[in-house]
Amino acid sequence: MDFIDEVADNIKEGLFHLAKRDRNQQQTSYGKKAQSKSFFRDRKNEGKNEILYTDQVPVMLPDNKKAKYDSLCIQKFKDSTQSFISHGFQAHKTTHIKIQSRFLCAELRPIFRDYDVDFNDEDGILTFEPFEPLYFKRYDIWRRARQLEESVEDDAAGAEAQEHLEFIIKDVLNDDMYDLIKDADELHEQGQITWNLLWTLFPHHSLVIANNAWGYQQAYQVLGFKYIKDETMSPLFFDITYQYIHFDAFRYRFVKANLTIPHFTGKRRINELDVYPTDRVPNPTKLRSELTARGRLMLDYQDVHHIQILPALLDSSRENYDEILKDLGRADAISTQPSQDSRRPASGSAVDSRRRPSKETQAMNRILVEMEDDNLLLTCPLLHAFSLRSKKWIAFYDNAYAHLVADDNRKSLLLSLVKSQLIVSEVPEDPIPEKGFI
């Protein structure tokens, strides 16, 4: 079991070896002092069902002395970076930090809202290496400290909060996390990254870009990440949980999925990764403009009944019309034949109005998607349809959507072809009376 997981499990089971204290007696002083204390893991107790920490190396900290540190705003817990002591010295690194200050907890709660941080009203915050919230939100912490500094002249509580924020900046960000921040900043400036610092590219709710087998670029919103290892603890890949917006034939909804980056050694160019931040593309402004335009104009096609694929647009020979793709939701609604494909959703009633969004539903969809600017970037152009050529339900990316960001002359030509298909059918054998766009 990984050390961090072991500690987390022990905390949950109540085995974390800190002294029990009288809450009523300690409440007023708990976490009040703008000071910190480091505790070191005691390796003499390996294999036992609890983890013990020493006050200093290598003297044990008796239980009855631990309560005296309750007044400190921060407690830091460290583990050795090697399994043996060389020449009487042993290096340690901070593995988790306990923030006891009620002032810090109150100030950090809104700052850490995007992260899975457990705010315990009695014990405070416990955060583990690599301290993602502190790393990604360090500038927010600094700005909040500056705000309080300018407005706490007659506010005692605000003055204490500002003092504690200044302390965590100095004692944690500028001390324990100094090397991490320095190394990550240097790599980012060079446009490079290492495996161990890969996570620093993906703050929660940030936007990333990825190419896919369909040939289009898609923006995704990061929800979380983790390193995946095998049973021997060797690294396998970096897993990113993300979300994007998908049209399910009735409404636009957020879909969660995962992207992975295989393990690598040495340094890699950031924009050569399988997934990387949108601000690392050659022209971020142009990419954002194109994806936003595609997302906004795709909202106009919520009620498309079907799409014809024409390999040779002006050739009227029959073979060019063999493949007709119908929107999955629409075709499913009008189908009376049982599905032979397990991937196809169960058919509802042929008169189920929900299978075709009304004008009101389409308008509401537009409002919900356009509510946040980033939503347009996250809209997926992938379509689900039934192929009359292969008789299979498939997912596809139709290059016809490229006209959404095409030049005006090409767009006018395509729209003219669409309008002509709405009036006249060029193919008598076409089994579908309604016309979509070409």
User: In tens digits, what is the pLDDT along the chain, a chain of 438 residues?
Assistant: 554 455 455 544 443 444 344 444 445 566 666 656 666 666 555 555 555 555 544 434 444 445 566 777 888 887 776 554 444 445 677 888 888 888 888 899 999 988 888 777 667 888 888 899 999 999 999 999 998 888 766 677 778 889 999 999 998 999 889 999 999 999 999 999 999 999 999 999 999 998 766 677 889 999 999 999 999 889 999 999 999 998 877 788 899 999 999 999 999 999 999 999 999 998 999 989 888 888 887 787 776 655 554 443 334 444 443 344 445 444 444 444 444 444 334 444 344 444 567 888 888 989 989 988 899 999 988 766 666 666 666 666 655 455 445 556 655 665 565 555 555 444 444 433 344 333
**How much is the pLDDT for 297?**
74
**How much is the pLDDT for 266?**
96
Q: 248 with 275, same domain?
A: yes
**How much is the pLDDT for 412?**
65
**How much is the pLDDT for 72?**
76
**How much is the pLDDT for 354?**
45
Cα–Cα separations (whole angstroms), residue 150 to 146, 157, 393? 6, 14, 62
d(CA 40, CA 77): 6
Q: Is 436 among the domain residues?
A: no
Domains contained in the chain, number: 3
Q: Is 49 among the domain residues?
A: yes
Full domain range(s) for residue 372? 299-423
**How much is the pLDDT for 198?**
97
Adjacency order of strands within the sheet including 392-396: 306-308, 324-327, 383-387, 392-396
Residue 435's CB: how many other CB atoms inside 10 A? 20
Q: Is 287 among the domain residues?
A: no
Q: 361 with 388, same domain?
A: yes
Q: 49 with 166, same domain?
A: yes
The sign of the CA dihedral 258, 261, 262, 265 is negative
| Residue 285 in tokens | 């402004």
Residues in CB range of 135: below 8 A, 6 or more apart: 177, 180, 181, 184, 200
**How much is the pLDDT for 278?**
94
Q: 315 with 382, same domain?
A: yes
Q: 144 with 7, same domain?
A: yes
Q: 316 with 381, same domain?
A: yes
Q: 330 with 248, same domain?
A: no
Q: Nearest 5°: phi and psi at 162? A: -65, -40
Last residue of a domain, one of 143, 176, 209: 176
**How much is the pLDDT for 322?**
34
Model pTM above 0.75 = no
d(CA 114, CA 378): 18
Q: 277 with 303, same domain?
A: no
Q: How deeply is 158 buried, as exposed, middle or buried, from its count of CB atoms within 10 A (0-12, 13-18, 19+)? A: middle
Q: 132 with 60, same domain?
A: yes
d(CA 99, CA 125): 5
d(CA 349, CA 366): 26
Asked if residues 47 and 6 have their Cβ atoms less than 8 Å apart, the reply is no
Q: 201 with 340, same domain?
A: no
